[in-house]
């Protein structure tokens, strides 16, 4: 068989191995996605109950004030940009970085600070000289509240100390395994806790008092909102990885089919050449 046919067989073998790897990675990403979606569903009742309690406290004690609720003139803005630690996720990282850059280019670098989740975003903004106020990398595939809390506490404390005057989350919102939409959401100052709507009379007895409970719960509420965004972004990351690996598997399969066709043609050409040589030799012997 000619040399080019042997090369084609080697390439087919290589693509088959690649397809096996990408298929396995697709299945792993699908399993990770299911676990994160379960975590999102489990955290929703907690957040809903906390919101209800805070609203009840605010309704019963309208005189309560808190730095996380304070509206003040915006001199500096904080951005929490959530990316991944690894690649092989299709456009997941590029689209969230692009979304963040669209915001940053409207402002001077002295008027905002970046809090980065994930190595891809952190490394990009660090190389470009953007101001990074905090970071967290190496999050597990199914982040726990404890893994996110250190950065969330840092952000909430910085806002309470007036290091910046508003906070936006920039991340990929999970729609489904195929679609992840980059979004920018305002988190601080908090809204929706004291919205002025009439509610039923509170059903809780607070000890040591509503002000102390409110003071303790409100930062935790803000941290939970950050945690929810990280979970949503992780679901998007696994969905993007699953889609990218699925596309890679399909591409490898198409290459295998194309190369197999080329190999069959090469074999046919070699056989035809041999037949012609045999017939030619037989004719020469007559």
Look-up: residue for tokens 């030799």? 281
Mapped onto helix, strand or coil, the DSSP state of residue 9 is helix
pLDDT by residue (tens digit) across 85-134? 888 888 889 899 998 898 888 888 888 889 989 899 899 999 988 888 88
User: Span 160-188, mean pLDDT?
Assistant: 86
pLDDT by residue (tens digit) across 125-160? 999 888 888 888 888 888 888 888 888 888 888 888
Q: How far apart are CA 286 and CA 284, in angstroms?
A: 6
pLDDT by residue (tens digit) across 17-29? 888 898 898 899 8
**pLDDT at position 61, please?**
58
Compute the CA torsion angle 30, 35, 36, 41 (nearest 10 deg): 130
Q: How far apart are CA 40 and CA 142, in angstroms?
A: 10
Are 113 and 133 in contact by the 8 Å Cβ rule? The answer is: yes
**How far are the Cα atoms of 71, 132, 233, 248, 256 from residue 25, in angstroms, in the given order?**
46, 32, 19, 10, 19
Task: Indicate the helix (H) or strand (E) that contains 203.
Answer: none
Q: How far apart are CA 130 and CA 132, in angstroms?
A: 6
User: Span 151-177, mean pLDDT?
Assistant: 86
CATH topology of domain 27-243: Pyruvate Kinase; Chain: A, domain 1 (3.40.1380)
Residues 6+ apart with CB under 8 A from 62: 194
**pLDDT at position 103, please?**
87
pLDDT by residue (tens digit) across 20-78? 898 898 899 888 888 888 888 888 788 877 777 777 776 665 656 777 777 788 888 88
Task: Indicate the helix (H) or strand (E) that contains 212.
Answer: helix 210-285
Q: How far apart are CA 69 and CA 57, in angstroms?
A: 14
With a cut of 60, say whether residue 256 has pLDDT above it: yes
Q: Which two tokens stand for residue 262?
A: 């080329």
Q: How many CB atoms lie within 10 A of CB 282?
A: 9
**pLDDT at position 286, please?**
61
Q: Which two tokens stand for residue 263?
A: 């190999």
Phi, psi angle pair for 232, to nearest 5°: -60, -40
**pLDDT at position 104, please?**
87
More confident residue, 276 or 255: 255
Q: Are strands 77-82 and 112-117 parallel, antiparallel or unpaired?
A: parallel
Look-up: residue for tokens 């017939």? 279
Please tell me what DSSP assigns to residue 113: E
With a cut of 70, say whether residue 272 has pLDDT above it: yes
With a cut of 50, say whether residue 279 has pLDDT above it: yes
**pLDDT at position 62, please?**
61
- Sequence-ordered alpha helix ranges (H) in 61-165: 92-104, 119-127, 145-160
Q: How far is CA 202 from the centre of its chain?
A: 38
Percent of the chain with pLDDT over 70: 85
pLDDT by residue (tens digit) across 178-234? 888 888 888 888 776 655 555 555 566 666 766 777 777 788 888 888 888 888 888
Q: How far apart are CA 251 and CA 243, in angstroms?
A: 12
**pLDDT at position 1, please?**
43
What's the longest Cα–Cα distance across the chain? 116
Q: State the Cα angle at 273 between 270 and 279, rounded to 5°.
A: 140
* Confidence tier at 2 by pLDDT (50, 70, 90): very low
């Amino acid at each position: 068989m000619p040399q080019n046919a042997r090369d084609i067989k080697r390439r087919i073998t290589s693509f088959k191995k690649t397809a096996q790897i990408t298929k396995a990675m697709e299945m792993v990403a699908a399993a990770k996605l299911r676990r994160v979606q379960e975590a999102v569903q489990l955290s929703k009742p907690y957040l809903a109950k906390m919101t209800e309690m805070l609203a009840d406290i605010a309704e019963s004690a309208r005189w309560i004030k808190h730095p996380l609720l304070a509206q003040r003139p915006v001199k500096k803005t904080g951005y929490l940009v959530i990316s991944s630690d690894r690649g092989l996720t299709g456009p997941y990282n590029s689209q969230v970085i692009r979304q963040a850059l669209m915001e940053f280019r409207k402002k001077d670098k002295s008027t905002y600070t970046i809090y980065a989740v994930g190595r891809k975003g952190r490394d990009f903004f660090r190389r470009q000289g953007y101001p990074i106020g905090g970071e967290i990398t190496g999050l597990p595939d199914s982040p726990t509240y404890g893994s996110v809390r250190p950065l969330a506490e840092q952000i909430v404390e910085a806002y309470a100390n007036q290091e910046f005057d508003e906070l936006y989350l920039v991340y990929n919102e999970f729609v489904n395994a195929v679609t992840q939409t980059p979004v920018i959401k305002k988190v601080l100052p908090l809204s929706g806790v004291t919205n002025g709507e009439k509610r039923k009379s509170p059903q809780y007895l607070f000890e040591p008092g509503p002000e102390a409970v409110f003071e303790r719960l409100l930062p935790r509420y803000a941290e939970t909102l950050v945690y929810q965004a990280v979970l949503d972004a992780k679901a998007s990351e696994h969905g993007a990885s699953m889609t990218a690996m699925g596309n890679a598997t399909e591409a490898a399969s198409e290459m295998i089919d194309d190369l197999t066709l080329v190999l069959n043609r090469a074999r046919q050409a070699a056989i035809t050449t041999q037949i012609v040589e045999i017939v030619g030799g037989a004719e020469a012997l007559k």
